[in-house]
Amino acid sequence: MNTKENIKTLVIKKPLKLDCGKTINNFPIAYETYGSLNTNKNNAILVFHALTGDQFVTGINPVTKKDGWWSFAVGPNKAIDTNKYFVICANVIGGCMGSFGPSDENPETKKIYGTDFPVITINDMVNAQVNLLDHFGIKKLFSVVGGSMGGMQVLQFVSNYPDKTKTAIPIACTSSHSAQNIAFNELGRQAIAADHNWLDGKYSSKNIVPDKGLAVARMAAHITYLSKKGLQEKFGRKLQERDDLKFGFDADFQIESYLRYQGSVFVDRFDANSYLYITRAMDYFDLAKQFKGNLSDAFINTKAKFFIISFTSDWLYPTQENKDIVIALNSIGADVGFVEIESDKGHDSFLLDVPDFLSALKHFLDKSYEKN
């Protein structure tokens, strides 16, 4: 799935006890960095990626040869200015871009893990990535930033390591996966499982991939990342390279063609089992539950300055769910700012060129850094 020579990895020797009860050790974390760490080591930002992201935040992704997933936000003079900050991003465990995941070989059985890979959680992902701080000799990050599942990792990180970051920016996320979130993820997983190539996760042994199932999973998920208005404006009922309906089941409409394309390019870069594991980790995320139902208690020990951002047209992680985090922080007197950005681009807004979002992000970081 990936060309390993372009991937930097750190092998974590320290055993990590997972939430499922199993312990892993000597496992790889694949990461990438941008910019340079200053001598005081106080300019580092740990970026967490979302469900289908990876460590290649910006520039050309050397594996897919496409722009990094957050090229709009990260780079020289951009919102997360790599002339100023040292940006670190790691592929989550369970992922398929070089970090320990289900497409790795199990050293005991010499077979690809597949669904024998342990179920991992957002907490496990964060606990694995914190090792990167030791690797770079960073005592305290300047910021932890992430959108969607990346935002969940931000929340979990601050909760687990209250002294390890100065600021925290969870974007378009939630502290607890809703029934609707779980439902969409389950739809994706069932699409993969229904592909006869999936073979209960053992497809690698037969050198095949459940690409049809994975593509359908991606298509369904992709709809949830966009807004109704955005879709209508971009596609409406426009026809795909034809003058009239064909009275068949080809992609008559542009939106059908677009979704099929999104599905087809996704299967080239993503592992189906990873998709199962990562969506499961998101579904299991319920930060309040970790603190007997009181979300505020998750942040009681931190002095980190929070900045929470949501988007008007995001119905996957709507403003109210982001605001619930603000409320939990305010109820303990934490330092928290919040802004809802006007955008028609749905949940995907955080990945796109949304000037109000990017300027808010830049201002918050740069102004907070001045006082560093």
* Residue 256 or 340 having the CB closest to another protein: 340
Per-residue HEC secondary structure of the chain comes to: CCCHHHCEEEEECCCEECCCCCEECCEEEEEEEECCCCCCCCCEEEEECCCCCCCCCCCECCCCCCECCCCCCEECCCCEECCCCEEEEECCCCCCCCCCCCCCEECCCCEECHHHCCCCCHHHHHHHHCHHHHHHCCCCEEEEEEECHHHHHHHHHHHHCCCCEEEEEEECCCCECCHHHHHHHHHHHHHHHHCCCCHHHCHHHHCCCCHHHHHHHHHHHHHHHCCHHHHHHHCCCCECCCCCCCCCCCCCEHHHHHHHHHHHHHHHHCCHHHHHHHHHHHHHCECCHHHCCCHHHHHCCCCCEEEEEEECCCCCCCHHHHHHHHHHHHCCCCEEEEEEECCCCHHHHHHCCCHHHHHHHHHHHHHHHHCC
- Of positions 25, 36, 359, 372, contacts another protein by CB under 8 A: 359
**Out of 341, 351, 354, 358, the residue judged to bind another protein by CB under 8 A:** 341
Of 314, 343, 344, 348, which residue is the catalytic one? 314
Of 22 and 363, which CB lies nearer to another protein in the complex structure?
363
Does the annotation count 148 as an active-site position? Answer: yes
Tell me how far apart the alpha carbons of residues 340 and 322 are, in angstroms, rounded to a whole number.
9
53 within 8 A of 64, measured Cβ to Cβ: no
- Residue placing its CB nearer to another protein in the complex, 107 or 333: 333
Q: Does 77 bind another protein (CB under 8 A)?
A: no
Q: For the CB of residue 305, give the shortest distance to another protein in the complex, in Å.
A: 7
- x/- contact string, 288-317, with another protein (CB under 8 A)? -----------------x-x----------
Counting beta carbons within 10 angstroms of the beta carbon of residue 339, is it exposed (0 to 12), middle (13 to 18) or buried (19 or more)? Answer: middle
Nearer to another protein, 102 or 346 (CB): 346
**Is residue 84 a contact residue for another protein (CB under 8 A)?**
no
Q: Give the range of 156-164, 195-203, 238-246, 364-372 binding another protein by CB under 8 A.
A: 364-372
Q: Is 350 in the site for another protein (CB under 8 A)?
A: no
CB 30 within 8 A of CB 235: no
Residue numbers 315-334 binding another protein by CB under 8 A: 323, 326-327, 330-331, 333
119 scored as a contact of another protein (CB under 8 A): no
- Among 119, 176, 340, 352, which residue sits at the site for another protein (rule: CB under 8 A)? 340
| Known catalytic membership, residue 347 | yes
Q: Catalytic residue among 103, 148, 204, 274, which?
A: 148
Considering only residues 143 to 182 of the shown chain, the ones binding another protein according to CB under 8 A are none
Q: Minimum distance from CB of 175 to another protein (Å)?
A: 15
Choose, from 81, 143, 347, 349, the residue flagged as catalytic.
347
**Least separation in angstroms between CB 247 and another protein:** 47
- Least Å from the CB of residue 323 to another protein: 8
Active site residue 314: yes
Residue 198 or 369: which CB sits closer to another protein? 369
Query: Which residues carry out catalysis?
Result: 148, 314, 347
**Residue numbers of the site for another protein (CB under 8 A)?**
305, 307, 323, 326-327, 330-331, 333, 335-342, 356, 359-360, 363-364, 367-368, 370-371
